[in-house]
A and B are shown apart, each in its own frame.
Chain A
Amino acid sequence: MRRGARSGVVVLAAVLGLAASSCGNGVIDKSTDGVPPAEATGTLRVLIPSFPPSNKGREEFDKVVEDFKKTYPKMKVEPDFATYGNLNEKISTSIAAGIPYDVMVTGVGWVQTFASKRLFADLGPYGVTPEVIQDKSIGAMVPAATYDGKLYAYPIVADARAVALRVSAFKEAGLDPDRPPKNMTELKAAAEKLTKRDANGTITRSGFDLAAPTSFRQTYTTLLASTGTPLYLDGQPNYSNAKGVETLEWIKSMINNVQVYGQRNAAQQPLVYTGEAAMGITGGAVDCSDKGIGQANCDDLRFFRFDSGKEVQFVGGDLASIGSRARHKDAGWAFIQSLTKPSSVDAIAKLNKKIPAYKDAANSPQAKSNPLSKFVASGLELAIYEGGSANWLEMRGNFDTQLTQAVLGQKDPAKTLANLSGQSR
């Protein structure tokens, strides 16, 4: 029996060893940093949500790879076309598995958190500093890409939001479409006038679409900033105050008053595009062709920005970083250079309905392609973004949950904001 047990243990140990060795080896390259680009071999692992899983998306990505290979001809590029929904899962599991990505494209809220965790590398050694980005890119995106005075991400495209109104609905309600409501008081009054109900009192057309039916985080951030109160000030939470409570109370007063909680259409498009809402928050581009919402619908839209004392425009975006544990940091930087060439950025902007994050975005092909992109491109210097604390990524889910509870009347707005403020680090 003892011999049997012993041999069993030996077999078990051998198999475990084999399994462990197969997990640990074979997929991690030797570092190519310092190796001349023409001689560097290995696989550059790229996590990127910027190319949609369509033939066109793959085609555009291949063009970036082709450009990269002019510098690193012997290196392979292994893309992981993630979505923003599973970006964190991809990053965390790659770290847990010990096979980190070399290049990671993430959103505005990611950079500071990942920089503070030392998951992203400082781009300073490649000559990229906040000042350089200020010159070459959208200045308003610099704070979101900076941590502790160093730059950790290179902006690729900006994802902007505007507010739109339907001219016909305004005229029908006796409102002037050329003088859109801008502050929260005016917006609420107009929205209440524009809301249509059936005989049972059920809302049949929303007066104002808050755009994210179950997530108020970004809307709250924008509205709060429009009162001249940024979400974070010098890394400290700035929402547990009178303006913060007032803003949250405003959202609460709109839900189930001018818009039913959770309302969205099947296409998950802004409701104002289709006339399901008379006003509402939009994305950064609108397709006026027959494949999109059509020219007649487009002509019925007017765009404006929130302004309760300060005109602001919410901006997110895609930013490229190099992993601090990357095996091919130099090659990663070469890839980012290919990715941020104007031709690549224009293609990404078109594919994702976003705005190129280069200096002259207002004259980009994307900005000229539709009236909404033109409008948001002209307001990039008014950009405000979400986040501002090192643990924003950890708490933003909870931020959403608690705001929703306050909006639905399950929690007191002031206590909610105080609680969230206490969780911020």
Chain B
Amino acid sequence: MSATLERTPTVASPRRDAPAKDSRKLVRSQVRAGWLLLAPALLHSGIFLVIPIIFAVALSFTDYSFGDSWSWVGFENYSVLFGDANFRAAFANTVLYAVVVIPVSMAVSLAIALGLNQKIRGLGFFRTAFYVPTVTATVAIATIWLWIYNPGSGLANGFLSLFGFAPNQWLSNPDTALPSLMVVGIWQGLGTKIIIYLAALQGVSRDLQESAALDGASRWQRFANVTWPALGPVQFFVLVTSIVGTFQVFDLVYVMTDGGPGTETMVLVLDIYQNAFQDLRLGFASAETVILMLLIAVFIGLGRLLQKADVND
């Protein structure tokens, strides 16, 4: 046996050698094809992600402000950042916005998707109606909601007046400005999540559902033990995209409140934008960008941990 093994390479006949060569050739051509197919994505990522990230990190250690001169300042931008009241407010508001908007929009989307997964009349209409906000420009949405929240003639105060409530300055009142934006954020994000959940729900095994029903499981038990576990990977996908989306909220706030009153609705991306392009503090804004990247990474990491815990359960 051992002799045979030792001899094999030296006495390999051309007939035996050919398939090995062919297979290596095949592997090489597959690798080449792989790189070729990856090239556009790599190129895109290189130019639009990796290079800007490297620049942002490098700039965060400088005092660059579009002028003729700049210098390295080490971690000064970071230390100033943590003492900056605007940044602290933006950080807290962004986390609060995400912590409220993500779970609420996921829960509402799932509930609506469950409803749209039933055989009801006008299904096509409802599916379209819930998706419309997603394909509508945020500026248009913000303009409509500005009218809804208008203290004088808006729908929100008009509706509340039916129940005898006094008119509220929704976006000017420090207590209601951020919650008002959260409502719009939740509403705007429903469409995409509903579509994803709907697709996932249609992939849940009907056999398992029927078996559970035959075993006498209630609707809730079927949801908790069959539907919910089947949605695991989709939940994670929705969570990650929601985290990225909510942490990067900008246009909605920019159009509706511009971060005010005071800093009540200031969020990180708006603060970065203002620091970089209005106050011309690009080095400082880059440090803030790095913090935002880390924050998103931490939240995605937490999401992964939660998902793992859910799977292990």
Which residues from chain A sit less than 8 Å from chain B, CB to CB?
1, 4-5, 7-8, 11-12, 15-16, 19, 88-89, 91-93, 95-96, 113, 116-119, 200, 202, 213-214, 260-262, 324, 393-395, 397-398, 401-402, 404-405, 408, 410
Answer whether residue B279 sits at the interface, using C-beta atoms and an 8 A cutoff. Answer: yes
Partner of B279, one of A95, A117, A214, A394: A394
Given A15-B43, A214-B172, are A395 and B167 neighbors across the interface (CB < 8 Å)?
A: no
Instruction: Give the chain B neighbours of A92 by CB distance below 8 A.
Output: 66, 276-277, 280, 282
Asked if A119 contacts B277 (CB within 8 A), the reply is: no
Instruction: Give the chain B neighbours of A16 by CB distance below 8 A.
Output: 43, 46-47
Instruction: Give the chain A neighbours of B282 by CB distance below 8 A.
Output: 92
Answer whether residue B260 sits at the interface, using C-beta atoms and an 8 A cutoff. Answer: yes
For residues 45 through 98 of chain B, which have their beta carbon under 8 Å from a beta carbon of chain A? Answer: 46-47, 65-69, 85-86
Asked if B281 contacts A394 (CB within 8 A), the reply is: yes
How long is the Cα–Cα vector from A258 to B174 in the complex, in angstroms?
19
Which stretch of B30-38, B216-224, B242-250 is in the interface?
A: B30-38
Answer whether residue B39 sits at the interface, using C-beta atoms and an 8 A cutoff. Answer: yes
Give the residue among A16, A393, A398 with the most B Cβ atoms within 10 A: A398
Partner of B260, one of A214, A324, A393: A214
Closest-CB distance, A176 to chain B (whole angstroms):
32
13 residue pairs from A and B, CB less than 8 Å apart: A8-B36, A11-B39, A12-B46, A19-B47, A92-B277, A92-B280, A118-B69, A214-B260, A261-B261, A394-B279, A398-B279, A402-B85, A408-B174
How long is the Cα–Cα vector from A16 to B45 in the complex, in angstroms?
12
Instruction: Give the chain B neighbours of A113 by CB distance below 8 A.
Output: 280
Closest-CB distance, B46 to chain A (whole angstroms):
7
Which residues from chain B sit less than 8 Å from chain A, CB to CB?
27-28, 31-32, 35-36, 39, 42-43, 46-47, 65-69, 85-86, 151, 166-167, 169, 171-172, 174, 258-263, 266, 274, 276-282
How long is the Cα–Cα vector from A11 to B167 in the complex, in angstroms?
63
Closest-CB distance, A270 to chain B (whole angstroms):
17
Report the nearest A residue to B262, measured CB to CB: A405
Instruction: Give the chain B neighbours of A200 by CB distance below 8 A.
Output: 166
Report the nearest B residue to A117, measured CB to CB: B67
How long is the Cα–Cα vector from A214 to B264 in the complex, in angstroms?
13
The 3 closest A-B CB pairs, nearest first, are: A262-B172, A117-B67, A4-B32
Instruction: Give the chain B neighbours of A410 by CB distance below 8 A.
Output: 174, 262
Report the nearest A residue to B171, measured CB to CB: A262
Given A214-B172, A262-B169, are A404 and B47 neighbors across the interface (CB < 8 Å)?
A: no
Majority secondary structure of chain B interface residues (helix, strand, loop or mixed): loop
Give me 4 other A-B pairs in contact (C-beta within 8 A), A7-B32, A119-B66, A401-B266 excluded: A12-B42, A118-B69, A214-B258, A394-B281
Partner of B277, one of A89, A118, A408: A89
Closest-CB distance, B248 to chain A (whole angstroms):
18
Report the nearest A residue to B282, measured CB to CB: A92
Given A16-B46, A200-B166, are A401 and B35 neighbors across the interface (CB < 8 Å)?
A: no
How long is the Cα–Cα vector from A19 to B46 in the complex, in angstroms?
12
Give the residue among B32, B263, B276, B279 with the most A Cβ atoms within 10 A: B279
Instruction: Give the chain A neighbours of B171 by CB distance below 8 A.
Output: 262
How long is the Cα–Cα vector from A382 to B67 in the complex, in angstroms?
33
Instruction: Give the chain A neighbours of B262 by CB distance below 8 A.
Output: 401-402, 404-405, 408, 410
Instruction: Give the chain A neighbours of B47 by CB distance below 8 A.
Output: 16, 19
Asked if B174 contacts A397 (CB within 8 A), the reply is: no
Partner of A404, one of B46, B69, B260: B260
Report the nearest A residue to B274, measured CB to CB: A397
Asked if A88 contacts B35 (CB within 8 A), the reply is: no
Given A262-B169, A408-B174, are A88 and B278 neighbors across the interface (CB < 8 Å)?
A: yes
Report the nearest B residue to A87, measured CB to CB: B278
How long is the Cα–Cα vector from A7 to B34 in the complex, in angstroms?
13
Instruction: Give the chain B neighbours of A12 by CB distance below 8 A.
Output: 39, 42-43, 46
Report the nearest A residue to B38, measured CB to CB: A8
Asked if A404 contacts B67 (CB within 8 A), the reply is: no
Closest-CB distance, A114 to chain B (whole angstroms):
9
Instruction: Give the chain B neighbours of A11 by CB distance below 8 A.
Output: 39
Asked if A397 contacts B39 (CB within 8 A), the reply is: no
Report the nearest B residue to A214, measured CB to CB: B260
Instruction: Give the chain A neighbours of B167 by CB distance below 8 A.
Output: 202
How long is the Cα–Cα vector from A280 to B81 in the complex, in angstroms?
38
Closest-CB distance, A391 to chain B (whole angstroms):
9
Closest-CB distance, B23 to chain A (whole angstroms):
14
How long is the Cα–Cα vector from A395 to B36 in the complex, in angstroms?
49
Partner of B169, one of A89, A91, A260, A401: A260
Instruction: Give the chain B neighbours of A408 by CB distance below 8 A.
Output: 174, 261-262
How long is the Cα–Cα vector from A113 to B69 in the complex, in angstroms?
14
Asked if A398 contacts B86 (CB within 8 A), the reply is: yes
How long is the Cα–Cα vector from A200 to B260 in the complex, in angstroms?
27
Closest-CB distance, A395 to chain B (whole angstroms):
7
Report the nearest A residue to B170, measured CB to CB: A262
Partner of A88, one of B169, B261, B263, B277: B277
